Amino acid sequence: MTNEKPDWIRLHKALAIEAERGFTDLVGREYRFSEFLSLTLGKFPTGLPQTERRRWQGLAVQFASYPHLALEERQHLVAETRRYLSQLQQDEQGEDGKQGSRGAGEQRRINQLKIQKPKSPIVTEVSRRLAPKIDQKLSDLPEIGFKKADNLARLGLHTVRDLLFYYPRDHIDYARQVNIRELQAGETVTIVATVKRCNCFSSPKNQKLSILELVVKDNSGQIKIGRFYAGTRFSSRAWQESLKRRYPVGSILAACGLVKESKYGLTLDNPELEVLANPGDSIESLNIGRVVPIYGLTEGVVANTVRQAVIAALPAAANLKDPLPSGLRQKYGLMELKDAIANIHFPSDSAALQVARRRLVFDEFFYLQLGLLQRQQQARAIQTSAILVPRGQLVEKFHEILPFKLTGAQQRVLNDILNDLQKPVPMNRLVQGDVGSGKTVVAVLAILAAIQSGYQAALMAPTEVLAEQHYRKLVSWFNLLHLPVELLTGSTKTAKRRQIHSQLGTGELPLLVGTHALIQDSVNFQQLGLVVIDEQHRFGVEQRARLQQKGEQPHVLTMTATPIPRTLALTIHGDLDVSQIDELPPGRQKIQTTVLSGQQRNHAYDLIRREIVQGRQVYVVLPLVEESEKLDLRSAVDEHQKLQESVFPDFQVGLLHGRMSSAEKDESITKFRDNQTQVLVSTTVVEVGVDVPNATVMLIENAERFGLSQLHQLRGRVGRDAAQSYCLLMSSSRSPDAQQRLKVLEQSQDGFFISEMDMRFRGPGQVLGTRQSGVPDFTLASLVEDEEVLLLARQAAEKIIEMDVTLERWYLIKEELKYRYERLMGGAILT
């Protein structure tokens, strides 16, 4: 191996793109991703300590075998490499590897992040002026004035503070200055060269388009570059001649932009240009030769207006009081707030931007976690909930009638719940578990603990299908225990509804199962002790809260079969206790999952026939009820007719969709459950709630239209018995991204890994499938890329709350929390 300085930016960029595209070993212009990493890591960085060389060389070897690794192994290797490179880069820029032998693990990595305070060149330049006040109106700043202030108000920017915390949505790095021969397509760079030829003319194809064409050279080569000016005001010959005079032959020119291929070879795409008096002069442009901030804009507000306004406001950053104590900043390697604000807008280089962003991302996570933990502690201070008896005759009898033993994971989660129920503090626990992991049995044991303690319980589900499924299961068990249970939905008849209301009020009815109907004003419990909410993310914040308000601080157990990535769980459920059922009942076989094209449809039908002949049943799921003119998708109604008449005329084909009446749905599900129909054509209404162990095939049409988490949920409708089951993902899409997503389902049945990948592909809000799920709207932070910072912020918040839950010891943190938490969460109570 040779020694050379690594190109950190290209390495980080390659790893980031590979992660974004689903770890598929992307093919670049010259190399595959794995080849590029293996070759680049084949050279030791200059000054790499001997102790680190073996690990560096090991990474090169691992990437050589990257094409042969499983998806989970690729994901792990890329994540580890990104962390390791960040650590080494900080060594190089910070303490030059001097701390290589100090400590180990997380503390060592944090120590290596101790920050020198890089000053933004813009801040250095303007800090000599009198700094404006933080709360000063923008119209009061002479550099902005009333007209520009009115424009900035369209972006919600009214004060200096608003501008300072209006973070760029992206940055373009023009700080890297290179020679012409070093240009590579796809990079953003700055060159300084001599003008060899200059011309300005109207486009032969469009007289309203003027083109400035320059040939520039340095001691390594020459290139042709051009800029375009659209509009009649640029088409006059006089204007074109005046533009030519700005760039005379022989003048020194600084140009920055994206390097791309053209018919003349490499060029800069519509570059920014500045003429320098001498080759060594500093560049005065806001864009050229620096890391340029890209802000969110709106109609009538141009980029340079925001940049110039930020420059006018930046001196005020020096007067910002940092709420985080210096000891906490030092422990977690955080830049001081004023320096972070300066460098998030106009960083001195990419390294300063990275460190500034890390501090501000930490802040976003820290104040959210602080708010969630404070609310959790305040809830735990309430001592008015019912103390429920975890053991008794009902619980023991239920264990006797169960035809199976609880799995180790079920027993562990049950113990968590029963321990909570014995305390006067209201339980607030989330149980996560894959489809078929046995969450319902655990919930029933909690319900029985409430009933035998003299209290009532409520179980709320998001759909009538799921509520009906829970009700059927509970009736079969509760009849053996001689306990009444009722179902309340929008379809419940008036007379039955009145009877249920009456029995709830007198306490005769110990358990009520239902949908949103449970939160109606007319539903009143005599003594509600436990609330169970299934698929809780499908309910709005207010709906969940209203059910809890039916009792005096009842214990709350929420359940979800949608695995939630750890970062997302911490963000939206950071005030909950979380238990996970990570074990399926014994005897279940892995579901064989296959992605099929339209040409392979007959293979799917052959498998379906074979399974039906053996006495099994089949789901066929489609995204639409009826044909859409806008989307070329197979509709459930049309598909049902086709399958019954043309494909499977010898079998009975049923239909289920959300537009059917409750009675029609019940009839369709009952026929399928009783094997009177062998094929059930359905929309996603079967995603939760339909439990038919005899079904062994799930065929999903237009699978690319679904999210990975939803496909995993649908797949969970089969494989609920000991027989081999199959999931067929039918897709006519030729999109590489769609195929990559579906391949994840082929390669993994781990719901949490699938949800992580789903979040990478679609974002956190889409994973939960609802806008009501309460995902905070972060400005900088990414739940996909910033997991490490989130965990550190959670750790810091826990320590602060542990020392003083009221935050009286940290007045600045308390004030900042009030401001940020309310804005981030919109004042909503999430859980």
Task: Dump pLDDT digits (tens) for 34-74.
Answer: 888 877 887 777 777 766 777 787 787 788 778 877 777 78
User: Quick check: 439 and 581 in contact, CB under 8 A?
Assistant: yes
- pLDDT at site 687: 61
Cα–Cα dist 510/525, whole Å? 9
Q: Please give the pLDDT value at position 125.
A: 47
Coil/strand/helix, residue 512: strand
- What is the rounded distance in angstroms from the CA atom of residue 541 to the CA atom of residue 269? 48
Tell me the whole-structure pTM to 2 decimals.
0.65
In CATH, what is the architecture of 592-748?
3-Layer(aba) Sandwich (3.40)
**Every domain of the chain and the residues it spans:** 2-111, 176-289, 393-581, 592-748
- Answer whether residue 290 shows pLDDT above 70: yes
Residue 512 is encoded by which pair of tokens?
Answer: 């009520």
- Its CATH class, for the domain covering 176-289, is mainly beta
Task: Write out pLDDT tens, residues 718-759.
Answer: 888 888 999 999 998 888 888 888 988 988 888 778 877 887
Residue 128, pLDDT above cutoff 50: no
pLDDT tens-digit map of 225-283: 999 988 888 888 888 888 888 899 988 888 888 899 988 889 999 888 888 766 665 66
Distance CA 312, CA 309 (A): 5
Please check the confidence at residue 109 and state whether its pLDDT lies above 60: no
What confidence score (pLDDT) does residue 510 get? 95
CA distances in angstroms from 423 to 51, 416, 419, 574, listed in the order given: 52, 12, 7, 21
Q: Report pLDDT digits (tens) over 393-433.
A: 889 999 999 888 898 999 999 999 999 999 888 888 989 88
The pLDDT-based confidence of 662 (bands split at 50, 70, 90) is confident
Q: Do domains 393-581 and 592-748 have the same CATH topology?
A: yes
What is residue 25's predicted lDDT score, i.e. its pLDDT?
85
Integer distance in angstroms from the first to the last C-alpha of the chain? 55
- Planar angle of CA 444, 446, 451, nearest 5 degrees: 90
- Among 749, 803, 782, 776, which residue's Cα sits nearest to residue 368? 776
pLDDT top residue among 349 and 530:
530
pLDDT, one tens digit per residue, over 192-225 is 899 999 999 999 888 889 999 999 999 899 999 9
What pLDDT, on a 0 to 100 scale, did the predictor assign at position 165? 93
Using the predicted structure, report yes or no on whether residue 390 has a pLDDT greater than 80. Answer: no
Cβ 816 vs Cβ 323: under 8 Å: yes
* pLDDT score of 632: 52
Q: Take residue 578 and report the two structure tokens written for it.
A: 């979380």
Topology, domain 393-581? Rossmann fold (3.40.50)
Percent of the chain at pLDDT > 70 equals: 86
Residue 459 sits at the vertex; the CA angle it makes with 453 and 464, to the nearest 5 degrees, is: 155
Rounded to the nearest angstrom, the gap between the alpha carbon of residue 825 and the centroid of all alpha carbons in its chain is: 16
Whole-angstrom Cα distance, residue 572 to residue 581? 19
Q: How far apart are CA 513 and CA 490, in angstroms?
A: 12
Confidence (pLDDT) at 831 = 30
Q: Report pLDDT digits (tens) over 797-823.
A: 999 999 999 999 999 999 999 888 666
pLDDT digits (tens, 9 = 90+) for 293-307: 888 888 778 888 898
Rounded to an integer, what distance in angstroms lies between the CA atom of residue 750 and that of residue 756?
10
Q: How many Å apart are CA 670 and CA 663, to the nearest integer?
A: 10
The mean pLDDT of the chain is 83
